[in-house]
Amino acid sequence: MSVNDLSGMPQVLPDNRAGIWRVWFGPLTAVTDAAVVAALVYAASFAYHLGATNLPGIDRSTPELAAMLATLFVFVNLMRGRYQIGNYLSTRGQIGSAFAVWNITMVAFLVLLFLAKIADHYSRAIMVVTYLSGIPVIALSRSAVVRLIAAGSRTGRITAERAFLIGREANIMSFVSRHKPWHMGFAVTDVAFLKSSAEAGTAALAADLAAAVANCRAKRPDAVFIAVPWSDQHTIAACVDAFTNLPVAIHLAPEPIMDRFGNAHIVHTGTLSSLRLTRQPLSAVEIAVKRAFDVVAAAAGIILTLPLLLLIAALIRLDSPGPVLFRQRRYGFNQQAFRIFKFRTMSTTDDGKVVVQAKRNDPRITRLGHWLRRYNLDELPQLLNVLAGDMSLVGPRPHALAHDIEFERKIANYARRHNVKPGITGWAQVNGFRGETDTDEKMAGRVAYDHWYIDNWSFWLDITILLRTVLSKKAFANAR
379-402 per-position pLDDT tens digit: 899 999 999 999 999 999 998 887
d(CA 89, CA 155): 13
CA distances from residue 432 to 199, 397, 428, 429, 463 in whole angstroms, order as listed: 58, 13, 7, 5, 18
Look at 85-89, 115-119, 325-329, 423-427 and tell me which has the smallest mean pLDDT. Answer: 85-89
**Which has the higher per-residue pLDDT, 262 or 211?**
211
pLDDT confidence band for 355 (50 / 70 / 90): low
Inform me whether the pLDDT recorded for 7 exceeds 50.
Answer: no
Inform me whether the pLDDT recorded for 10 exceeds 60.
Answer: no
CB 105 within 8 A of CB 79: no
DSSP 4: G
β-strands 392-394, 423-425 pairing = parallel
Share of the chain above pLDDT 90, in %: 32
Q: Which of 455, 467, 383 is nearest to 430 (CA)?
A: 467
Backbone angles phi, psi at 195, to 5 degrees: -90, -20
d(CA 290, CA 275): 28
pTM exceeding the 0.75 threshold for the entire prediction: no
CB 86 within 8 A of CB 251: no
**Residue 184, pLDDT score:** 72
pLDDT confidence band for 154 (50 / 70 / 90): low
How confident is the model over 303-330, as a mean pLDDT? 89
Round the average pLDDT of the chain to a whole number and report it.
83
CB 156 within 8 A of CB 187: yes
CB 345 within 8 A of CB 359: no
Inform me whether the pLDDT recorded for 351 exceeds 70.
Answer: no
**Which has the higher per-residue pLDDT, 21 or 146?**
146
d(CA 410, CA 226): 38
d(CA 171, CA 235): 13
d(CA 236, CA 471): 56
How confident is the model over 455-460, as a mean pLDDT? 87
d(CA 243, CA 191): 14
**Cα torsion angle, 196, 200, 204, 205, sign:** positive
- Taking the CB of residue 426, how many other CB atoms lie within 10 A of it? 28
**Chain centroid to CA 215: how far?**
40
**Residue 38, pLDDT score:** 93
**Which has the higher per-residue pLDDT, 450 or 319?**
450
**Neighbour-count burial of 302, counting CB atoms closer than 10 A to its CB (0-12 exposed, 13-18 middle, 19+ buried):** middle
β-strands 223-227, 186-193 pairing = unpaired
How confident is the model over 344-354, as a mean pLDDT? 68
d(CA 151, CA 343): 54
Inform me whether the pLDDT recorded for 143 exceeds 90.
Answer: no
d(CA 137, CA 124): 20
How confident is the model over 253-266, as a mean pLDDT? 82
d(CA 383, CA 344): 15
Beta bridge partners of 251: 225
**Which has the higher per-residue pLDDT, 454 or 153?**
454
In 181-324, the DSSP E strands lie at 186-193, 223-227, 249-252, 265-269, 272-276
Q: Where in the chain is the domain with CATH 3.40.50.2300?
A: 160-276
**Chain centroid to CA 295: how far?**
26
**Which has the higher per-residue pLDDT, 171 or 365?**
171
**Residue 11, pLDDT score:** 46
Look at 39-43, 421-425, 438-442, 448-452 and tell me which has the smallest mean pLDDT. Answer: 438-442
DSSP string covering 101-154: HHHHHHHHHHHHHHHHT-GGGS-HHHHHHHHHHHHHHHHHHHHHHHHHHHHHHH
160-276 CATH fold: Rossmann fold (3.40.50)
d(CA 415, CA 436): 19
**Residue 378, pLDDT score:** 87
d(CA 475, CA 430): 4
- Taking the CB of residue 361, how many other CB atoms lie within 10 A of it? 8
